[in-house]
Structure 1
Amino acid sequence: MKQQRYVLLDRDGVINQDSDQFIKSPDEWLPIAGSLEAIALLNQHGYKVAVITNQSGIARGLLDTDTLQNIHAKMQRMVAEQGGDIDAIYSCPHGPDSDCDCRKPKPGLLEHFAQEKQIDLKDTVFIGDSYRDIQAAQAAGATPILVKTGKGEKTLAHHPDLNIGIFDNLYDAARHLTTRRP
């Protein structure tokens, strides 16, 4: 039996505009140009998409889990309007000082995803905009890709010798993934 192919995505800075003040409401969740179409493109080429996201705004008291669910409902609705689908969303609600295993750069969320979906992460790409996304992917055995949106340019400036795929945005990364040979 052939394993289902997944592409994992960070949320803030990859799918939607990031904010140093956190995304605290559905109104603040604004897609990056081309990102919703990128998810649809991945789906059309046989990839399922899952989101792996740190959401420390919950631990900081800036939003609650119901609000986070409403933000994700908006994201999923807007992706669906473009013909795409997000299969699953995994989020860490803990703060940076937490000793959890799910907050990136730790690989816990990716490992939880892999166990739940019975996926081998060595065949899985994780697209992010921050160094902790890259670290989490590498720690879990997935292939990291960096996009220059969100914190991507800053990540690249601080880590100019990254030896991974680097793309301007999610759409460019998706186009690369869907045109390469398996």
Structure 2
Amino acid sequence: MRRPILWIVLLTLVAGTTPAQTEKPVEIYLATGAAYPTNDFNLQYNYGFNGSVGVGLRIANSLRVVPKAEIQTFSIDPNYFVDTVSGGNYTAIMTGADLRWFSDLHKWWFDPILLVGGGLAFARVSTLTVGEITYYSHNETKLYFNIGAGVDIRMTPKISAFITGRYVRISTGGTKTEFFPVSVGMRF
């Protein structure tokens, strides 16, 4: 007699808690886009490209922590120099985490996104040759900070596309390393 009652209680608890669980506690993020340098960084470098991958961990209904890895690349602006130029490209491999807030608008086909995050950036400038003078490559690992906003567009109940714009600042010595990456990606 106790065994059937125990099964009924157990099934009731499982059935009662299932709707309260989040549908997708883990999500995958893939994105690519362009990056636009600002301030002093804009004087030396042209616009760049980026790519990123992240894993979203739902901590509340509209809040996610997204550990991520991304790469940002920029080519040197030859117009900055009087002589012929080769090399000097800037690459930053960044690892960190974002806190993403989604406003879940059930009746709309899109949701606004706000994000803030940071981490470590491994920044490298390749060997630069200006005329007859060669500046050898150098690299540094520094902290970075980013803040941004965007739109999450529902495509299916489990898959959505997103567009985000961010302000990123890498704490490098000398020239300010600031840029605005605009990314388009998928969340599933």
Report the TM-score when normalising by structure 2.
Answer: 0.25
Of the two, which has the highest radius of gyration?
2
* Greater length-normalized contact order (CA 8 Å, ≥ 6 residues apart): 1
Report the TM-score when normalising by structure 1.
Answer: 0.25
Richer in helix (by share) = 1
